[in-house]
Chain A
Amino acid sequence: MDLYKNAAHELHEKLVKKEISSVELTISIYNRIDQVEDSVKAYLTLDKENALEQAAKVDKIIASGEKIAPLAGIPGAIKDNISTKGLRTTCSSKMLENFTPIYDAHVIQKLRADETIFIGKTNMDEFAMGSTTETSYFQTTHNPWNLERVPGGSSGGSAAAVVAGEAIWSLGSDTGGSIRQPASFTGCVGIKPTYGRVSRYGCVAFASSLDQIGPITRDVTDAATVLNTICGVCTMDSTSLHEEVPDFTKALTNDVKGLRIGVPKEYYAAGLDPKVDGVLKKALADYEAMGAKIVDVSLPHTEYAVITYYIIAPAEASANLARFDGVRYGYRDMKATSAPEMTTASRTEGFGAEVKRRIMLGTYVLSSGYYDAYYLKAMQVRTLIRQDFAKAFEQCDVLLTPTSPVVAYPIDGKMDPLAIYLLDVCTIPVNLAGLPGISIPAGFVDGMPVGMQLIGKVLDEETILRAAYAFEQSHDYHKVMAPLGGK
């Protein structure tokens, strides 16, 4: 039985009905990993022994007749920038190649409490800086739809693992699109919750005011299920929102009648692949057929979003990554003869090119004399972008946009960093505004998946989940398994 092909909510039913055991399920995932991991390269660390032990524990709980949580006994994968006590957490960096955290991230604590199973830690762009996993110090992950293409990033390993059947669900983190873009490139579901919905405690910080952990799953129901587990107030994160968390699965009503879907013209502009545009236009028509109303809206400051992001995110990163100095943990240059020299050498050798580029960018924009022109200005534009969304949401309930203007491109490392930065134009504004956004499969272009993004109001994950679920149920893109072949 190919258990790896099932969604979490299907497997939960089977576990509860005792049709399968968690150990059986977990073994089937590791068997799948044995089969495909060499060509996908989604994982950096596997934790088979603990996973099987945990699975046996869940089987005992089920046998005792106790009720289990929806994710109990179901194998998931964790992006390698989320702190797991006792399990190596590298951020795909040489800097943390041998780093084992002493504490669990808040989301990990919650998942452990629900008796879920951690298969391992997934590959990513180094410190989540990148859109392809190519900046990983260790390996590049391959897109299960076409192994010669990138899976997207930075949560490329988490997305590829789910799509290749190497995990049932996974966690990613999203600072400028790092959950949604790989979900789009690999044909799965990825949601970036409202900023503050999910605790950042234990998510190795890239850009503190933008980072958010979220699920990557096969379908919308699983996304809602994982979200149910990881959302909630956290006393260890000052930016955690003190808001009640609804049962997100209740939002999956399959009903979009009267839903006002906004189409921001700035997201359908030059640079959008015409074939991707075609897929989205078709999706809009489908929604209309289901009873939704399509509304044209404008987000006039969209063109400034990428540059604003590339000031704020590197600025915060330049401080967040300062702690990697070789003093307390992580890579240390042993040739240096003084403390300052040791720190400089450790950072020079421990960080990759993209990370260094962003640290330099951030250091520059915060420097005395430049702060007002760059950082302060960027913060002001960020406010304008936020206001754009607030205005648009007076006319509609959700926004429908491409997740990425293009489908997954070839792994060749030849793309200019700036060209890659600009491709994040559809996802970045959502982080800047702190809004929830989901990417779900909308169709295919030349055999590669196309994602569509639904953006919601602050704390209104329910509406985007409802819209996403309705679309998913009237199509079967999420049921097509990736071929794991070349082109």
Chain B
Amino acid sequence: MKNYITVVGLEVHAELKTKSKAFCSCSTSFGSEPNTHVCPVCLGMPGALPVLNKQVVEFAIRTGLAVNCEIQRFNKFDRKNYFYPDLSKNYQISQFDKPICLGGHIDIHVGKEPKRIGITRIHMEEDAGKLVHSGSTIKTSDSSAVDYNRAGVPLIEIVSEPDMRSAAEARAYLEKLKAILEYIDVCDCKMQEGSIRCDANISVMSEDATEFGTRAEIKNLNSFRALERAIDYEVERQIELIEDGGHVVQETRTWDDAQGMTFSMRSKEEAHDYRYFPEPDLVPVEIDDTWIERVKSELPELPAARQVRLMSEKGLQAYDAENIVATKAMAQYFDDAAKHTDDAKGLANWLLGDVSAYLNNENIEIDKFPVTPAHLGELVTLIKKGVLSSKLAKKVFVEMVKDDKAPKDLVKDLGLEQVSDSNELQKMVDETLAENPQSIADFKAGKDRAVGFLVGQIMKKSRGKANPAMINEMLLKKLKE
């Protein structure tokens, strides 16, 4: 079998968190009763007309600047025509040949080498409503209801260059993009609520080929994991096809997460002819330098800059810093907790270790983490000061997530203060040595392991509270007498 190169480009739709919809004044809030955030405009009532919400343009500019795009001065909207019951006008107001942003990039790290992923374009458009089927799909349902609350919610579509060469790179790109959108506060980025959605264009080419292979567009990728799995599946499917003497056809496929497979939705021949034409109900939008400069000056710190800051100011390793800044909420949590400890490295370890494990286990995000940053910072400080051993700290942590109390109070409640009183410790050392003459003999015979055994016995006796460093020192002193 030949070697194949994976080629992936992503189209990411992000719902903008404007207060009102793109072309009317209805609320954009998620999760309300069906059809409560609707009006003649977003319902597509006869005679109703769209009026552009300027905030949409503002957010698109902000995004473009954050991913190094060139902002286009002249902007117009187009109608994208297709029939679907969730599309109230049966055309979507979008941007076709004149997107607001062109030619940007995002830098990602997979392994050690940094890599630059090109961004082709970003354009503004409106979302459709939502179908609620009585069955599992529109085709197998007796009836479907439509909720137009989402109809007209503003979206930006961010189209990448086909620059990614693996599922891991695609994931890293999407994670980085998501982080940026969060940092600049234009999108909620809740994949499970659909506020960020991803389609992948996937193809394979043999190592010696000079042109990309035929691509398939994969839809319905609603999580990072789905994205990775779909790419891996699709690459394997395409290579198998080619190896069997067939060829990949250009088509749209959908990812079935339960089955872990992609299925053909429509071929190139069946593809919609969207019959784009300029939206006559809207006037062109001119973006001047003043506007762009103002948005630029208001851009918040972006993940890359924050990573550098954590490395230089807090002394974090690149890998830890990158993971901490991967979400705005985590980075904020780190910054808040760091005010309560000098041990930034220790804090990072806790966040990326026990805290992340807890979040994964509970399937929640850091913003729902029950422990306040101050308390986690204090916990790290207690360890640093030797008040708590790492082992006992984990016990305290288990209590903290149940009941967010100050760790030093919990240590008291649980009776877990480390014993560092040398008289008390000396007593334990003497007792233990008296109980284990064989270990003393072993040590004298040159078996250093005996020390470890004795430390363990003392820790047991103290129910883990003895200061291990002090015991170690005292034991050795006594044994060498």
Chain A interfacial positions (CB closer than 8 Å to B)? 81-83, 89, 91, 96, 99, 101-103, 105, 200-205, 207-209, 235-239, 315-316, 318-319, 322-325, 327-329, 338-340, 343, 363, 366-368, 371, 375
**Which of these binds chain A: B138-146, B338-346, B429-437?**
B138-146
- Residues from chain B with a CB closer than 8 A to the CB of A209 are 280
Contact B47 A205 (CB under 8 A): yes
B15 to chain A: closest CB distance in Å? 23
With A99-B46, A201-B47, A202-B47: A323-B88 Cβ-Cβ less than 8 Å: yes
Check: B275 CB closer than 8 A to any chain A CB.
yes
The 0/1 profile, CB within 8 Å of A marked 1, for residues 18-55 of chain B is: 00000000000000000000001101111111111000
Check: B211 CB closer than 8 A to any chain A CB.
no
Check: B283 CB closer than 8 A to any chain A CB.
yes
Check: B456 CB closer than 8 A to any chain A CB.
no
Contact A338 B139 (CB under 8 A): yes
With A201-B47, A323-B46, A323-B89: A367-B273 Cβ-Cβ less than 8 Å: yes
Give me 4 other A-B pairs in contact (C-beta within 8 A), A319-B275, A375-B277 excluded: A202-B48, A237-B51, A323-B88, A366-B276
A/B interface sample: 22 pairs, CB < 8 A: A83-B45, A96-B46, A99-B46, A101-B45, A101-B47, A202-B48, A205-B49, A208-B280, A235-B51, A239-B280, A319-B79, A319-B90, A322-B83, A323-B44, A325-B90, A327-B85, A328-B88, A339-B85, A340-B83, A343-B83, A366-B277, A371-B276
The complex places the Cα of A239 from the Cα of B278 at a distance, in Å, of 14
The complex places the Cα of A236 from the Cα of B85 at a distance, in Å, of 25
Check: B91 CB closer than 8 A to any chain A CB.
yes
The complex places the Cα of A351 from the Cα of B83 at a distance, in Å, of 17
* Chain A residue at smallest Cβ distance from B283: A238
The complex places the Cα of A207 from the Cα of B79 at a distance, in Å, of 14
The complex places the Cα of A103 from the Cα of B45 at a distance, in Å, of 9
How many residues belonging to B are interface residues under a CB distance threshold of 8 Å?
A: 32
Check: B168 CB closer than 8 A to any chain A CB.
no
Check: B392 CB closer than 8 A to any chain A CB.
no
A373 to chain B: closest CB distance in Å? 14
- Residues from chain A with a CB closer than 8 A to the CB of B138 are 338-339
Check: B356 CB closer than 8 A to any chain A CB.
no
- Residues from chain B with a CB closer than 8 A to the CB of A375 are 277
Check: B440 CB closer than 8 A to any chain A CB.
no
B280 to chain A: closest CB distance in Å? 4
Query: Which residue from B48, B50, B83, B275 sits with its C-beta under 8 Å from A366?
Result: B275
With A235-B51, A338-B139: A208-B46 Cβ-Cβ less than 8 Å: no
Chain A interface secondary structure, helix, strand, loop or mixed?
loop
The complex places the Cα of A375 from the Cα of B276 at a distance, in Å, of 11
B395 to chain A: closest CB distance in Å? 58
- Residues from chain B with a CB closer than 8 A to the CB of A315 are 277
- Residues from chain A with a CB closer than 8 A to the CB of B280 are 207-209, 239, 316
- Residues from chain A with a CB closer than 8 A to the CB of B45 are 83, 101-103, 328-329
Check: B354 CB closer than 8 A to any chain A CB.
no
CB neighbors of A among B276-291 (8 A): 276-277, 280-283
Contact B281 A323 (CB under 8 A): no
A376 to chain B: closest CB distance in Å? 9
- Residues from chain A with a CB closer than 8 A to the CB of B81 are 318-319, 322, 366
Closest 4 CB pairs of A and B: A322-B90, A366-B275, A208-B280, A209-B280
Contact A339 B144 (CB under 8 A): yes
Contact A91 B275 (CB under 8 A): no
- Residues from chain A with a CB closer than 8 A to the CB of B46 are 83, 89, 91, 96, 99, 101, 204-205, 323-324, 329
Contact B277 A371 (CB under 8 A): yes
Contact B47 A105 (CB under 8 A): yes
- Residues from chain B with a CB closer than 8 A to the CB of A101 are 45-47
- Residues from chain A with a CB closer than 8 A to the CB of B50 are 238
Query: Which residue from B44, B146, B281 sits with its C-beta under 8 Å from A239?
Result: B281
With A101-B45, A319-B277, A368-B275: A238-B85 Cβ-Cβ less than 8 Å: no
- Residues from chain B with a CB closer than 8 A to the CB of A96 are 46
* Chain A residue at smallest Cβ distance from B146: A327
B167 to chain A: closest CB distance in Å? 33
The complex places the Cα of A378 from the Cα of B179 at a distance, in Å, of 46
The complex places the Cα of A237 from the Cα of B273 at a distance, in Å, of 29
B36 to chain A: closest CB distance in Å? 15
The complex places the Cα of A328 from the Cα of B41 at a distance, in Å, of 13
Query: Which residue from A238, A324, A367, A371 sits with its C-beta under 8 Å from B51?
Result: A238
- Residues from chain B with a CB closer than 8 A to the CB of A205 are 46-47, 49, 281
- Residues from chain A with a CB closer than 8 A to the CB of B85 are 325, 327, 339, 343
- Residues from chain B with a CB closer than 8 A to the CB of A340 are 83
The 0/1 profile, CB within 8 Å of A marked 1, for residues 79-95 of chain B is: 10101010011110000
* Chain A residue at smallest Cβ distance from B271: A368
A475 to chain B: closest CB distance in Å? 38
A436 to chain B: closest CB distance in Å? 19
A485 to chain B: closest CB distance in Å? 37
With A208-B280, A323-B90: A236-B144 Cβ-Cβ less than 8 Å: no
- Residues from chain A with a CB closer than 8 A to the CB of B83 are 322, 325, 340, 343
Contact B273 A368 (CB under 8 A): yes
Contact B49 A238 (CB under 8 A): yes
- Residues from chain B with a CB closer than 8 A to the CB of A238 are 49-52, 281-283
The 0/1 profile, CB within 8 Å of A marked 1, for residues 89-106 of chain B is: 111000000000000000
Contact A322 B89 (CB under 8 A): yes
For B47, B48, B50, B88, the residue with the greatest tally of chain A CB atoms inside 10 Å of its CB is B47
The complex places the Cα of A283 from the Cα of B280 at a distance, in Å, of 38
The complex places the Cα of A343 from the Cα of B146 at a distance, in Å, of 14
With A322-B83, A322-B89: A103-B49 Cβ-Cβ less than 8 Å: no
A457 to chain B: closest CB distance in Å? 21
A487 to chain B: closest CB distance in Å? 38
A51 to chain B: closest CB distance in Å? 22
The complex places the Cα of A294 from the Cα of B179 at a distance, in Å, of 70
Contact B90 A236 (CB under 8 A): no
Contact B49 A367 (CB under 8 A): no
The complex places the Cα of A323 from the Cα of B49 at a distance, in Å, of 13
A269 to chain B: closest CB distance in Å? 30
For B43, B85, B282, the residue with the greatest tally of chain A CB atoms inside 10 Å of its CB is B85
A380 to chain B: closest CB distance in Å? 13
For B41, B45, B91, the residue with the greatest tally of chain A CB atoms inside 10 Å of its CB is B45
The 0/1 profile, CB within 8 Å of A marked 1, for residues 53-92 of chain B is: 0000000000000000000000000010101010011110
The complex places the Cα of A101 from the Cα of B48 at a distance, in Å, of 11
The complex places the Cα of A469 from the Cα of B477 at a distance, in Å, of 119
Query: Which residue from B40, B91, B146 sits with its C-beta under 8 Å from A319?
Result: B91
B381 to chain A: closest CB distance in Å? 57
B394 to chain A: closest CB distance in Å? 55
CB neighbors of A among B249-287 (8 A): 273, 275-277, 280-283
Contact B91 A322 (CB under 8 A): yes
- Residues from chain A with a CB closer than 8 A to the CB of B43 are 328
The complex places the Cα of A143 from the Cα of B275 at a distance, in Å, of 40
Contact A201 B49 (CB under 8 A): yes
Contact B277 A102 (CB under 8 A): no
- Residues from chain B with a CB closer than 8 A to the CB of A367 are 273, 275
The complex places the Cα of A349 from the Cα of B450 at a distance, in Å, of 94
For A96, A238, A318, the residue with the greatest tally of chain B CB atoms inside 10 Å of its CB is A238
* Chain B residue at smallest Cβ distance from A362: B275
The complex places the Cα of A3 from the Cα of B393 at a distance, in Å, of 95
- Residues from chain B with a CB closer than 8 A to the CB of A368 are 273, 275
Contact A103 B40 (CB under 8 A): yes
